[in-house]
Chains A and B, each alone.
Chain A
Amino acid sequence: MKSDLSDVQQRVNRYWYTDGLAEIIGGGMFILLGAYFALQDFLGPNSTISVILQVSLVLVLIGGAFVSRRLINSLKTRLTYPRTGYVEYRVNKKDTGRKRILVATLAFTISALTIAFVAIFKSFDSMAAVTGFIVGMILVLLRGKASGLFRFYILGAISLLLGLAISASGLNEGYALGLYYGLMGVCFLVSGGLTLAHYLHENPLPAEGQSGQ
């Protein structure tokens, strides 16, 4: 019998990422977001489609989050739960409140920094670096630390380096962000894909009558 109680919470947190599905879907969303930003630069500021895209960013993000969650749950029902079991995570109302405050503080800080940056340097050229830093911190602090999975630390480092490299390349803001999100999306797809392949190999479907259900 496994008897180590000290990391029970972390093992349960880690379980959500054990199949790589969240990364695969997240990677797909990142690539779509990359296409969104690149398309805006391609179409130019006077294009009607570009204006529509700009005002619909919030809808795109909210819709993307909603679709992602449903897609992940649907794939987990088919692939993960029959193999290694089902968990419903606790939603702690206090934690939800704290997370909202954290997200709001982060959003405010980013907005303030962006405004300050443009005022001082008269340029958005560092948006990719700032984005890379923020995504990297989220990966390391919220995902890596919470789950104890090393690959999130690697993805965090890639995000940071990618953001810096793309900012240094001198690309326009839209193309820079498009390239950042596109390449990070590919990284997530690769990471998630390898994790899923390993998971399916290590966890074949139980034979009839052995699932314990």
Chain B
Amino acid sequence: MGNDLRSVTELDRLIHEPARLLIVTILSTVASADFLFLQRETGLTKGNLSAHLSKLEEAGYVKIEKTFKGKLPLTVCSLTADGQKALAQYRRQMQDFILKTQ
């Protein structure tokens, strides 16, 4: 396998997982979104979404805050600067790989 194609093995596997890729992509388009919105948009179960968000939070890609909007309690998620850089890097690597294998 050429060096050019070998770079695909260096993809960030944390983001590469489909559910987490969807979560990170949604969060990249907004300033923040709450747990309920993410659950409905991704179609993941509550437990599954919690697990993926925990992994992203541990890696420093997502920030999770418990807050209030008026009297409504919310668990709000947002993409950190590291998370945005990681997603941008992932997109570049994938685009590069696709171009070289066309």
Q: What residues make up the interface of A, taking CB atoms closer than 8 Å to B?
A: 1-3, 5, 8-9, 11-12, 15, 74, 77, 81-82, 84-91, 206, 210-213
Which positions 5-45 of chain B face chain A at CB distance < 8 Å? 18-19, 21-22, 25-26, 29-44
Nearest 3 interchain pairs by C-beta: A85-B37, A85-B36, A86-B34
Q: Digitize B56-95: 1 where CB-to-A-CB distance is under 8 Å, 0 elsewhere.
A: 0000000000000110111110000000000000000000
**Which residues of A sit under 8 angstroms from B49, Cβ to Cβ?**
212
In the complex, how many residues of chain B place their beta carbon closer than 8 angstroms to a beta carbon of chain A?
31
**Which residues of B sit under 8 angstroms from A86, Cβ to Cβ?**
33-34, 36-37, 69, 72, 74, 76
Partner pick for A12 among B22, B26, B34, B39, CB 8 A cutoff = B26
**Which residues of A sit under 8 angstroms from B46, Cβ to Cβ?**
210, 212
Interface-centre pick from B29, B43, B44 (highest chain A CB count, 10 A): B29
Please report the C-alpha to C-alpha distance between residue A51 and residue B28 in the assembled complex, in whole angstroms.
Answer: 49
> Beyond A1-B44, A3-B18, A213-B75, is A84–B29 a contact (Cβ under 8 Å)?
no
Interchain nearest-CB distance for B101 vs A (Å): 19
